[in-house]
Amino acid sequence: MSTSLERLIQLSAKRYGADAASLSAQDDVFEKLGIDSFQAVELMSELELDFDIEIPDYELQGVRTFGQLAAAIDKRR
């Protein structure tokens, strides 16, 4: 597991009260965290601050899994 993926999962789990050990790269972020698109935008804002990056919205189109999101984060680091 990449450092970004691990950190992403830890932050997401803490924010939404999920068990980090039950989350994996293949999991759908929305389904596993039980969040809607508004909450996903809030999460992205937190992640951008935490990772000190900015990810354009167009790069997040079609991103659904923790692994895809970690790859988008890594692309910007």
pTM: 0.93
Exposed e or buried b per residue across 25-36, where buried means at least 16 C-beta atoms within 10 angstroms of its C-beta: bebebeebbebe
* Active site (annotated) includes residue 27: no
Residue 28's alpha-carbon distances to 4, 5, 52, 60, in angstroms, are 17, 13, 24, 14
Check residue 49 and give its pLDDT.
Answer: 96
Query: Which position among 19, 27, 28, 36 bears the catalytic label?
Result: 36
pLDDT confidence tier of residue 2, bands split at 50, 70 and 90: confident
CATH class of 3-76: mainly alpha
How does pLDDT run across 39-59, given as a tens digit for each residue?
999 999 999 999 999 999 999
Neighbours of 23 (CB within 10 A): 19
Please state, in angstroms and rounded to a whole number, the distance separating the CA atoms of residues 15 and 13.
6
